């Protein structure tokens, strides 16, 4: 396999571990306070009678004792995130340190590999080619949802055939919800296989008091910030384009906020703010046009606007329309499947939604209406990455500026380019932080399994400090659950962590955005650095620094 010189150097990198894991060989699980769910306590408890109310877990050094070999299985679930290979590396190393005859099996293609019994044993030689590299190609990933007793039973059969003691599921909020459901199912049916989750998502929406961030967010936001910085410098140099940049982040605006803090663009829209203050689509367009006009008055007919991928779901009237469409696609699934074209679907939809939503649908560009009518993802969500929100806003701003020019209130020039940065960040070579963090999460997951725990998510706290000061442990998956409407019914899911408008990252942005909107004060972060001063190559995200200051 041909490798770049940098990749060769990165494979040789030795990830850092918390001091406890460096100093001791044997550990005991230290049980803390019992944990309730994030919301809807009685309903969640009804769904999880065996795993609800479990305690938070930390580790303490234990007495060395004879250990027995363990067999662990691992899957990667959902979209790629930098650091996934390091989670598997941490699992493997902790498992082999426990007992040299322990084995790690990777099921191929995500959850579907469990159902179809497709796997490979992960060896030292195999893993040597993937340490500290981006991507999920060691075993692949997938979005199959584990939710039926038939799927659970096939999973059990295939795991038992390999004498698996514990299954580790590396994924986001939906994947880890599945991990919690599977752990509950195994306990209820007296299946002696433990289930451990690992938090993964570049979107940053899987976090809470115990999960300070998910692996992948650090690397992805640094990649996007480099690209935004490059675009900003081009805008400042050419002085003739406004760049409308959509950034990945399906349900939360964490990526956009972090990139705004790193690059200081003229406009950065935060979906949660739009929802909180009921900002209409028209109001958002007017606000953007105001900033563009004021910069034009200063002779600056250029700028950078950052737009979160999920913005469209935060705009109240758009949210109402999408909710109606989601319900409609469940209730009238059979009728809609018989329609051959998207235009036929839109005509059908118009006849089955409220007058208010129909009015909104009619004023949207045809292409946006078609994108809203596309099939939902496996979890019943609109596929916002396929909705060109940046183009929608660009066109509506252009129309508004033309109206103002006709009235004589705007004399500037408006030329615009649109971009979407998403896949560029998902498989990047992980930053030092994500290499260390992913490795420590995998190491911790193995220790949770060795201690015989199930229904837990691997967690590392104190992440804004050097890795040696990190605090590994486990948090019950049920403690993160609440009830949400999915596919037309209420289901327990991990509560998404949205951008907090009273949180330090947003307050920092809010205090500076008016200045950034009018002044050209761009920052150019440049590419991720792996070698050099700690302040450059081992720095965490600005968001994490502010949240833990």
Q: On the CB side of 429, how many CA atoms lie within 13 Å of its CA?
A: 19
Whether the CB-CB separation of 169 and 140 falls below 8 Å is answered with: no
DSSP 269-296: --HHHHHHTT--HHHHHHHHHHHHHHHH
Whether the CB-CB separation of 77 and 110 falls below 8 Å is answered with: yes
Q: Count the neighbouring beta carbons within 10 Å of the beta carbon of residue 469.
A: 12
Alpha helices in 303-341 (DSSP H): 311-314, 316-331, 333-338
Instruction: Please enumerate in sequence order all residues whose Cβ is within 8 A of that of 101, keeping only pairs 6 or more positions apart, or say none.
Output: 69
Cα-based angle 444, 110, 195 (whole degrees, multiple of 5): 40
Whether the CB-CB separation of 353 and 331 falls below 8 Å is answered with: no
Annotated catalytic, 203? yes
E strand residue ranges, 422-470 = 456-461
**Structural tokens at position 170:** 């590396």
* Buried/exposed code over 421-444 (b: 16+ C-beta within 10 A; e: otherwise): bbeebbbbbbbbbbbbbbbbbbbb
Q: Count the neighbouring beta carbons within 10 Å of the beta carbon of residue 197.
A: 35
Burial class (CB in 10 A: 0-12, 13-18, 19+), 299: exposed
**Structural tokens at position 207:** 């976090």
Q: Which of 93, 173, 174, 203 is catalytic?
A: 203
Sign of CA dihedral 332, 335, 341, 347: negative
Whether the CB-CB separation of 105 and 93 falls below 8 Å is answered with: no
Can you tell me the distance from the alpha carbon of 94 to that of 25, in angstroms, rounded to the nearest whole number?
A: 10
For strands 103-107 and 119-121, give the pairing: antiparallel
Angle between helices 173-188 and 149-161 (to 10 degrees): 80
Whether the CB-CB separation of 331 and 294 falls below 8 Å is answered with: no
Residues classed as catalytic? 203
């Amino acid at each position: 396999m041909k490798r770049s010189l940098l990749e060769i150097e990165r494979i040789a990198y030795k990830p850092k571990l918390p001091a406890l894991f460096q100093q001791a060989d044997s550990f005991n699980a230290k049980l803390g306070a019992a944990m309730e769910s994030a919301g809807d306590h009685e309903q969640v408890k009804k769904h999880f009678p065996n795993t609800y109310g479990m305690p938070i877990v930390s580790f303490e050094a234990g007495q060395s004792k004879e250990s027995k070999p363990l067999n662990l299985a691992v899957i990667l679930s959902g979209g790629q995130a930098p650091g996934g290979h390091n989670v598997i590396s941490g699992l493997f190393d902790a498992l082999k340190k426990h007992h040299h005859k322990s084995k790690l099996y990777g099921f191929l293609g995500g959850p579907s590999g469990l159902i179809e019994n497709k796997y490979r044993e992960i060896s030292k030689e195999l893993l040597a080619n993937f340490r500290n590299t981006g991507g999920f190609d060691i075993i692949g990933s997938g979005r199959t949802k584990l939710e039926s007793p038939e799927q659970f039973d096939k999973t059990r059969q295939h795991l038992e055939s390999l004498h698996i003691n514990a299954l580790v599921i590396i994924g986001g909020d939906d994947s880890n919800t599945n991990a919690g459901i599977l752990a509950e199912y195994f306990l209820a049916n007296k299946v002696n296989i433990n289930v451990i989750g690992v938090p993964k998502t570049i979107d940053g929406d899987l976090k809470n008091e115990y999960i300070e961030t998910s692996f992948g967010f650090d690397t992805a936001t640094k990649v996007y910030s480099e690209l935004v910085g490059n675009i900003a410098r081009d805008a400042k140099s050419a002085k003739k384009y406004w760049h409308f940049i959509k950034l990945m982040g399906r349900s939360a605006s964490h990526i956009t906020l972090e990139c705004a803090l790193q690059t200081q663009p003229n406009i950065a829209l935060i979906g949660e703010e739009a929802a909180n203050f009921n900002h209409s689509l028209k109001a958002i367009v007017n606000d953007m046009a105001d900033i563009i006009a004021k910069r034009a008055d200063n002779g600056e007919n250029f700028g950078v606007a950052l737009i979160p991928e999920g913005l469209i779901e935060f705009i109240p009237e758009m949210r109402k329309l999408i909710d109606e469409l989601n319900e409609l696609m469940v209730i009238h699934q059979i009728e809609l499947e018989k329609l051959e074209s998207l235009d036929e679907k839109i005509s059908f939809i118009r006849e089955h939604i409220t007058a208010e939503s129909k009015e909104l649908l009619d004023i949207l560009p045809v292409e946006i209406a078609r994108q809203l009518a596309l099939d939902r993802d496996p979890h019943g969500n609109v596929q916002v990455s396929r909705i060109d929100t940046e183009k929608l806003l660009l066109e509506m701003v252009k129309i508004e500026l033309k109206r103002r020019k006709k009235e004589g209130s705007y004399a500037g020039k408006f030329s615009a380019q649109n971009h979407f940065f998403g896949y560029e960040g998902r498989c990047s070579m992980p930053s030092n932080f994500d290499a260390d963090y992913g490795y420590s999460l995998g190491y911790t997951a193995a220790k949770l399994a060795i201690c015989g725990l199930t229904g837990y998510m691997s967690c590392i706290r104190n992440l804004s400090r050097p890795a040696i000061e990190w605090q590994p442990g486990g948090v019950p998956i049920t403690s993160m659950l609440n009830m949400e409407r999915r596919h037309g019914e209420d289901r327990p899911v991990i509560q998404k962590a949205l951008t907090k408008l009273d949180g330090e990252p947003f307050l920092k942005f809010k205090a500076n955005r008016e200045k950034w909107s009018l002044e050209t004060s761009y920052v150019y972060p440049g590419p991720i650095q792996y070698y050099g001063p700690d302040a450059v190559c081992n720095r965490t995200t600005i968001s994490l620094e502010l949240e833990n200051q």
